[in-house]
């Protein structure tokens, strides 16, 4: 393990991400496993973006929001997994001070943006089920664009205060972070000054975005459930449930893991549990998102089949011309 490096002011200039300390053969297995999962996440979410972009039938607010959500998932998982993979097979496992702070900022900003996107998508489903006649008037293309901008900007602005506060924390050594990414708790544990105030502010900011978005989603789906149960038509009720089921599944995956990590008392005190839960919400939602939406949505299936048929035709033509 590399010894502590310091800059001219005597502060830490790099961190060591401990990651998953285990035998070399297990590290190689983890590298292959996480590489496959990362590749599948990229391909799955990219397929949703391509399907929405290529099919005019999917040029609606619901699918535009879904395509942006899938793009967010690609950015979200790319903010930590490539570095994690590099550190698994690396002997040094180092990350620069600036790189560590930027990884923290981008990863958790996109985590906050994910909560905002899930809230906006629940608002879209609320309008579609509870206000079907007013839906085209309210959910215009302009409003859809504004909501997308709000989600992206809101996530990055929300984490600006914690980012600025952490950048002011002095790190004199040691510099070993017992995690595979630059998370808040293990970083603050390395501070050589009291950080109780910073920890409190960051905790409040994190809790607010989690609880506000979750309560909003639960509120909208309570209204949706009330309207659905009052429907006299069985087919209408089934259609409404199927429309919301995919989104609710993704919400359950994301908030379930985040609540275990940041709300359960004492969960952050055990590095093993902390790594496992962080790994789960960093990979699970991006991995299952395309599976949930592609297999439960007929319009998405049709668009993907068209894309595949076009690709196969082009490949067949190319191979035929070479012959």
CA atoms of 51 and 54, how far apart (whole Å): 5
Give pLDDT, residue 84: 92
Q: Name every residue whose Cβ is closer than 8 Å to that of residue 33 and which is 6 or more positions away in sequence.
A: none
CA atoms of 16 and 1, how far apart (whole Å): 8
CB atoms within 10 A of CB 310: 11
CA atoms of 135 and 240, how far apart (whole Å): 14
CA atoms of 116 and 220, how far apart (whole Å): 14
CATH of residue 137: 1.20.1070.10
Residue 171 lies in a domain: yes
Report the candidate in 268, 256, 253, 278 with the shortest Cα–Cα distance to residue 79. Answer: 278
Please name the residue that has the structure tokens 């929405």. 52
CA atoms of 2 and 5, how far apart (whole Å): 8
Q: How far separated are the first and last CA of the chain, in Å rounded?
A: 55
Residue 260 lies in a domain: yes
DSSP string, 14-59: EEEE------HHHHHHHHHHHHHHHHHHHHHHHHHHHHHHH-GGG-
Residue 286 lies in a domain: yes
- The sign of the CA dihedral 130, 154, 194, 97 is positive
CA atoms of 188 and 195, how far apart (whole Å): 7
Report the candidate in 74, 60, 70 with the shortest Cα–Cα distance to residue 125. Answer: 60
**Cis preceding linkage at 174, omega within 30:** yes
Please name the residue that has the structure tokens 């919301």. 244
Element (H or E) spanning 177, and its range? strand 176-177
Residue 9 lies in a domain: no
CA atoms within 13 A on the CB side of 286: 31
Residue 54 lies in a domain: yes
Residue 2 lies in a domain: no
Please name the residue that has the structure tokens 């001219």. 8
Locate 272 and state its tokens.
């093993």
Residue 76 lies in a domain: yes
Q: How many DSSP H helices and E strands does the chain contain?
A: 12, 3
Total number of domains constituting the chain? 1
Give pLDDT, residue 130: 87
What is the extent of the structural domain holding 34?
14-322
Locate 155 and state its tokens.
């996530």
Task: Determine the 3-state secondary structure of 9 from DSSP.
Answer: coil
**What's the pTM?**
0.87
Query: Taking the mean position of all CA atoms in its chain, how far away is CA 70?
Result: 9
CB atoms within 10 A of CB 33: 11
Would you give per-residue pLDDT tens digits along the chain (323 residues)? Answer: 443 344 334 478 889 998 888 888 899 999 999 999 999 999 989 988 988 888 888 888 989 999 999 999 999 999 999 999 999 988 888 999 999 999 999 999 999 999 999 999 999 989 988 888 999 999 999 999 999 999 999 999 999 999 999 999 988 878 888 888 898 888 888 888 888 899 899 889 988 999 999 999 999 988 888 888 777 766 667 766 776 777 788 888 888 877 776 655 445 555 667 788 788 878 888 898 888 876 666 777 777 777 777 777 766 666 555 55
Give pLDDT, residue 1: 41
Phi, psi of 127 (to 5 degrees): -65, -40
Residue 1 lies in a domain: no
């Amino acid at each position: 393990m590399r010894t502590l490096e310091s800059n001219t002011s005597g502060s830490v200039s790099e961190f060591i991400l401990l990651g998953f300390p285990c035998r070399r053969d297990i590290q190689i297995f983890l590298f292959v496993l996480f590489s496959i999962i990362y590749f599948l996440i990229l391909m799955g979410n990219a397929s949703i973006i391509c399907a929405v972009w290529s099919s005019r039938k999917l040029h609606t607010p619901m699918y535009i929001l879904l395509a942006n959500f899938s793009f967010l998932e690609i950015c979200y998982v790319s903010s930590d997994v490539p570095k994690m993979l590099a550190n698994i097979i690396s002997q040094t496992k180092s990350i620069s001070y600036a790189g560590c702070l930027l990884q923290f900022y981008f990863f958790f900003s996109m985590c906050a943006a994910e909560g905002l996107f899930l809230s906006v998508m629940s608002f879209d489903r609320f309008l579609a089920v509870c206000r079907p006649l007013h839906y085209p008037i309210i959910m215009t293309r302009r409003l859809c664009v504004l909501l997308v901008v709000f989600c992206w900007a809101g996530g990055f602005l929300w984490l600006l205060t914690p980012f600025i506060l952490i950048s002011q924390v002095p790190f004199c050594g040691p510099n070993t972070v017992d995690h595979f990414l630059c998370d808040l708790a293990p970083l603050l544990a390395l501070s050589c000054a009291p950080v109780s105030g910073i920890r409190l502010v960051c905790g409040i900011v994190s809790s607010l975005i989690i609880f506000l978005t979750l309560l909003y989603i639960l509120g909208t789906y309570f209204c949706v459930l009330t309207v659905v149960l009052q429907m006299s038509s069985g087919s209408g009720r089934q259609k409404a449930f199927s429309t919301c089921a995919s989104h609710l599944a993704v919400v359950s995956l994301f908030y379930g893991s985040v609540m275990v990590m940041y709300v359960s008392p004492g969960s952050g005190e055990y590095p093993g549990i902390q790594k496992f839960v962080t790994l789960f919400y960093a990979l699970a939602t991006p991995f299952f998102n395309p599976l949930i939406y592609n297999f439960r949505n007929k319009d998405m299936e049709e668009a993907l089949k068209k894309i595949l048929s076009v690709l196969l035709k082009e490949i067949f033509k190319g191979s035929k011309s070479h012959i």
